[in-house]
Structures are given as structure tokens and as C-alpha cells.
């Protein structure tokens, strides 16, 4: 029986260390990970990390399976491998399992929890401070009480929006693999979003204009989610691009849209505000990513709006594009497949 043939058939990087502590066989995946020319050499000269050396040594000496972790700056990223050294008749078989994705997912989860806690703590601290003041020094001061209650209302509103956005995000994420099947008229949704955002536009002195919103544009979709996409985009255009005075929403229908290679409905939301510099654009759809954190919070933003948009568009198998130049306004385009 040729051991090398068996080892070669395993997709994980595998090396066989004989009892004389030399490497007897390796497979292709191991050569990619650790480099060629390992056969015949002492394992200590190849695997220089102390944890891995201890693990192999323990398996050789004690004839017991042993495990550890191996990190490798592999093709430009830090890869983390779970290493197992298992005694076999010929020596010790060492396997390397890539666990980088799992570690990254764990890190993302920890970052997310830290972000959410931080976002909730700020308004909560303000609320607690004002409750204390209202109970103590401002007890008999009617004017201060009114002012503080106003601030408390705003802070509670911020927490409420954050929790609602988090719930929307988790709902959209959990449904992301289920394609929506209802028939939705995108134009009708856009018209209704625009009419509900009229007061906000007036408050910011922005005129909202539409093109193509009268034609029927049916897609397979989830009506509430489609409305949410355009609420978030148009609200952002008013809040962040409002200095341009005008926000336009343009709806077009395409029999064969090049990126989707089929019939599609495209909605462009354009503002003429201050724009976004190129380095921020790829990160805008990350949760809690804001170009100007202070400004977003002033506007009551949660930093989750575009993350929600991205997930809804993905669920509809559509595409989102962001084009912007500092000082020249921004264009957010959503392209949704129409069949
Ligand atoms: P937020 O709740 O902060 O509005 P979003 O995810 O909706 O969160 O947006 C993320 C960030 O993208 C915003 O904080 C803002 O800095 C930037 N942004 C979004 N839309 C625009 C726009 N039309 N013009 C300029 N900046 C924008």
C-alpha cells in the first residue's frame, strides 16, 4: 500500500512524520501551505511554530492524538489552521484545517455586539442622567423639566429606531435565501414613500421630483421591503444631500439589463448635496459605518439604513450602485430583476 497515494487524495494539507522525526510524505495542499521539498527533512526545520512542534512531539512520544493552532500569513491574509497530530502505524499524521472563516465570523459577531452596546449606551446614559436630575436639582423647576423631558423623548426615540433597525436587519438576513414571490409595483411603492417623506423634504427645504413614476413596474418582490429600500435611500438623500435643494427619483424599465442579463426595473435616487469621497463608498453598506458619525446621530441616523438596503436588494437578487463625487452630489441606484 502506498501511503502517499492516500495522503494525496485528502483535500486538507497533510504531512506524515515518521518515528525518526523526518517527514515521509506530504500532499499537494501541504506543499501549497508549507512549500515544496519537505520530504526527508526533520519536521522541526519546516514547522517552526513552538505550539505545532509541541503538538507533534507529544503525539510522537505519547502515542496520543494532540491538537493545536497554526497561524500563517498565507496569500496576503492571516490564516488560522486547526492542527491535529494523530499517531498511525507509520508515525504521526498531521492535518491542517483552515478555520479562518470561522474565526472571522466570530470576530464580526463580537464587533457587532460591541457596536450595538455602544450605540445603546449613549442614549441610555443620557436618559439616566436626566432622570437623576429630574429627581434631584430640577425637581421644582417646571421649565427645566419640560426641556429635559424633550431631550429624554429624543434619546428614547433614538433607542427605539435602533432596536427597530436591528430587528429589520435580522429579519431580512434570516430571509435572505428565500426569494420573494409577491407581485410588487415598484413605482407605486416609490410614489407612496415619496408622499410620506414630503414633510421631511419640506423641513429640509428640498424639492422632491420623480421621473417615470407613473408607469407600472411589476417585479417579484416583498412590498414592505421594497418600500423600506426607497424610504432609506430617499431619506438619506434629503438628510445628507439636502443642501443641493433637489432630490430626483428616476424609474426606468429595461427589457434586458446588462448586469442582470434580463428584464429589470432601475431606480436612481440622486441628490446634489456634498457627495461622498471615494474612500468611504465601498464601506457605506457596512453596519454602523458613517462618514460623519456626529452628523448622522444629529439627524437621528442609526448607521444601519444602507446595510438593510443591501440585504433587501440581495434578497431580491438585485444590484445596488453608489456613485458620488465630493461636492457634486450622490447617485444611489437599485436594479431589481423583473422576472
Ligand atoms: P445613517 O443612519 O447614519 O443615515 P446609513 O446606513 O443610511 O446610516 O448611511 C450611512 C452613511 O452614509 C451616513 O451616515 C452618511 O454619512 C452616508 N450617506 C448616506 N447617504 C448619503 C447621501 N445621499 N449623501 C451623502 N452621504 C450619505
* Atom nearest to 301 CA in ligand 1: 2
End-to-end Cα, the chain, rounded Å: 56
228 Cα: distance to centroid of ligand 1 (angstroms): 15
Does residue 1 carry a pLDDT above 80?
no
For residue 293, the ligand 1 atom closest to its alpha carbon is: 14
Mean pLDDT of all residues belonging to the chain = 94
Q: Residue 63 burial by CB count (10 A; 0-12/13-18/19+): exposed, middle or buried?
A: exposed
Query: 246 in helix, strand or coil?
Result: strand
**74 — pLDDT class (breaks 50, 70, 90):** low
Mutate to test the pocket of ligand 1, among 165, 204, 233, 296 (most ligand atoms within 8 A of CB): 296
Taking the CB of residue 87, how many other CB atoms lie within 10 A of it? 18
| Nearest protein CA to atom 3 of ligand 1, as residue | 303
- Cell numbers standing for residue 338: 423583473
Q: How far apart are CA 308 and CA 225, in angstroms?
A: 9
List residues bridging with 184 in a β-sheet.
219
Query: Is residue 339 very low, low, confident or very high in pLDDT (cuts 50, 70, 90)?
Result: confident
pLDDT digit string, tens, across residues 301-310: 999 999 999 9
CA distances to 122, 138, 165 from 133, in Å: 17, 6, 30
Distance 208 CA to ligand 1 centre (A): 18
pTM listed for this prediction: 0.82
Residue 75, pLDDT above cutoff 80: no
Residue 242's pLDDT band (boundaries 50, 70, 90)?
confident
Going from the Cα of 160 to the center of ligand 1, the distance in angstroms, rounded, reads: 19
Verify whether ligand 1 is closer than 6 Å to residue 231 (CB atom). Answer: no
Share of the chain above pLDDT 90, in %: 86
Distance 19 CA to ligand 1 centre (A): 62
Between 90 and 201, the more confident residue is 201
Q: What is the mean pLDDT of residues 260-274?
A: 95
Per-residue model confidence (pLDDT) at position 117? 95
Amino acid at each position: 500500500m502506498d501511503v502517499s497515494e492516500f495522503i494525496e487524495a485528502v483535500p486538507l494539507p497533510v504531512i506524515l512524520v515518521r518515528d525518526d522525526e523526518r517527514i515521509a510524505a506530504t500532499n499537494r495542499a501541504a506543499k501549497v501551505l508549507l512549500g515544496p521539498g519537505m520530504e526527508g527533512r526533520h519536521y522541526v526545520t519546516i514547522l517552526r511554530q513552538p505550539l505545532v512542534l509541541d503538538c507533534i512531539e507529544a503525539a510522537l512520544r505519547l502515542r496520543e492524538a494532540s491538537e493545536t493552532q497554526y497561524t500563517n500569513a498565507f496569500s496576503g491574509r492571516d490564516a488560522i489552521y486547526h492542527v491535529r497530530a494523530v499517531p498511525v502505524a507509520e508515525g504521526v499524521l498531521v492535518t491542517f484545517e483552515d478555520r479562518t472563516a470561522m474565526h472571522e465570523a466570530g470576530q464580526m459577531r463580537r464587533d457587532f455586539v460591541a457596536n450595538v452596546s455602544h450605540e445603546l449606551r449613549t442614549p441610555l446614559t443620557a436618559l439616566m442622567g436626566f432622570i437623576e436630575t429630574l429627581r434631584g436639582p430640577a425637581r421644582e423647576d417646571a421649565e427645566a423639566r419640560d426641556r429635559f423631558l424633550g431631550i429624554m423623548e429624543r434619546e428614547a426615540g433614538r433607542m427605539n429606531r435602533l432596536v427597530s433597525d436591528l430587528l429589520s436587519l435580522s429579519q431580512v438576513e434570516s430571509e435572505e435565501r428565500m426569494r420573494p414571490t409577491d407581485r410588487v409595483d415598484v413605482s407605486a411603492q416609490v410614489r407612496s414613500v415619496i408622499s410620506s417623506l414630503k414633510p421631511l423634504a419640506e423641513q429640509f427645504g428640498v424639492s422632491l421630483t420623480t421621473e417615470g413614476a407613473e408607469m407600472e413596474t411589476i417585479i417579484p418582490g416583498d412590498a414592505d421591503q421594497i418600500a423600506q429600500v426607497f424610504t432609506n435611500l430617499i431619506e438619506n438623500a434629503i438628510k445628507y444631500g439636502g443642501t443641493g435643494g433637489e432630490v430626483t427619483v428616476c424609474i426606468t424599465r429595461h427589457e434586458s439589463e446588462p448586469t442582470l442579463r434580463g428584464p429589470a426595473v432601475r431606480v436612481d435616487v440622486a441628490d446634489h448635496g456634498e457627495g461622498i469621497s471615494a474612500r468611504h463608498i465601498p464601506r457605506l453598506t457596512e453596519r454602523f459605518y458613517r462618514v460623519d458619525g456626529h452628523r448622522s446621530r444629529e439627524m437621528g441616523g442609526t448607521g444601519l439604513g444602507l446595510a438593510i438596503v443591501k440585504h433587501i436588494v440581495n434578497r431580491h437578487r438585485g444590484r445596488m450602485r453608489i456613485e458620488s463625487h465630493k461636492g457634486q452630489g450622490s447617485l444611489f441606484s437599485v436594479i431589481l430583476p423583473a422576472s
